[in-house]
Amino acid sequence: MKIACIDVGGTTIKSAAVTVENPSDLKSYKLGAFSFVPTEANRGFDRIRENIHSSIAALIKKHGCERIAIATAGTVDWDSGKVTYATDALPGFTGYDFCRDVKETFSLSSTVINDATAAAVAEHYCGNPESRDVVLTLGTGLGSALVKPGILDRNCVEDLHLGHIVLHKDGYICKCGNQGCAEQYVSASALKRDSGQNDISLVFTRKEYAKVKADFFNNMRAVVRFAIENYNPDDVVIGGGVVEIKKLWWNDFTAVCGNCGRTTLRPAVLANKAGVLGAAYSAMCGKFDNQ
């Protein structure tokens, strides 16, 4: 079985074909080479949709995919694959019946899930499927999900919205409309904003950014602590682009974090593959009512 997998973010649409031999074993999924196209969100809904459709069409043409699996930014209804809420990062997506659109356009079985959910699913099923994991994904924003052991249905994965817990009540205005949300401090965007550097590895290696780094760790610790206190996970998994340079900061951060009791803190292992692999796994093993 070959699946056309798309990961729709506010900046880039990633796509790849995934070959599945044993659906229940995520480790056996073979991921083909990624293609990237700009989302072009600033050009509006129709343009984004066009870019998504052409990415899917290219995969189907090249690989003869029999199924479509999509991970997207925005809140997605698990059972229907409809986007129930999207920020300005994806204009016009709130209310978009994403799954039905793709299904009707390509006449293939299709599923759509939230990108942080997809990443969480992938990290969970690549680790220990029997554990209770909180997965944090640091990118443009801060995605978060709780993945519980058991059947992969709407109850298995819970979007925790930890990106929007208020860490600093007089802090930066967030896209959600509130002030001082965690994702304004615990994300790749925050590191870029606070350092003025596009290359975030510099934040962890140059002395001049010691304060940026310390603040980042303290804010991330607050989110991790909140997750542990409220959701009692076996593991807290930290993923997203920042984890690709984990050797520069992981040990320092876990030292700042201190004793986490029974909870293990671990870096995500799938890096930027998590979204598409999670989407593929959900397409094969997820229980949906209307997708």
Helix, strand, or coil (residue 131): coil
Concatenate the DSSP letters of all residues of 98-151 into one string: HHHHHHHHH-SEEEEEEHHHHHHHHHHHHS-TTS-EEEEEESSSEEEEEE-SS-
Q: Which is nearer to Zn ion, 193 or 287 (CB)?
A: 193
Please tell me whether residue 181 binds Zn ion under the rule CB under 5 A. Answer: yes
Task: Give the interface size with Zn ion as a residue count (CB under 5 A).
Answer: 5
Are the CB atoms for 267 and 238 separated by under 8 Å?
yes
Q: Which is nearer to Zn ion, 47 or 168 (CB)?
A: 168
Q: Which of 174, 188, 270, 274 binds Zn ion (CB under 5 A)?
A: 174
Per CB under 5 A, the list member of 124, 164, 213, 273 interacting with Zn ion is 164
Beta-carbon neighbour count of residue 241 at 10 Å? 16
With binding defined as CB under 5 A, does residue 176 bind Zn ion? yes
Q: How far is residue 205 from each of residues 71, 185, 195, 202, 218, measured CA to CA in Å?
A: 33, 19, 12, 5, 17
> From residue 40 to residue 79, what is the string marking binding to Zn ion with x (rule CB under 5 A)?
----------------------------------------
Backbone angles phi, psi at 289, to 5 degrees: -90, -35
CB of 102 or CB of 223, closer to Zn ion = 223
Q: Is 136 in the site for Zn ion (CB under 5 A)?
A: no
Q: At what angle do helices 250-257 and 210-231 cross, to 10 degrees?
A: 60
> Applying CB under 5 A, which part among 48-56, 133-141, 179-187, 221-229 lies near Zn ion?
179-187
Q: Cβ 178 to Zn ion, closest distance in Å? A: 5
CB of 181 to Zn ion, least distance (A): 3
Nearer to Zn ion, 178 or 254 (CB): 178
To the nearest whole angstrom, how small is the minimum distance from the Cβ of residue 142 to Zn ion? 9
CB proximity list for 254: less than 8 A, separation 6 or greater: 265
Which residues of the shown chain bind Zn ion in the complex (CB under 5 A)?
164, 174, 176, 178, 181
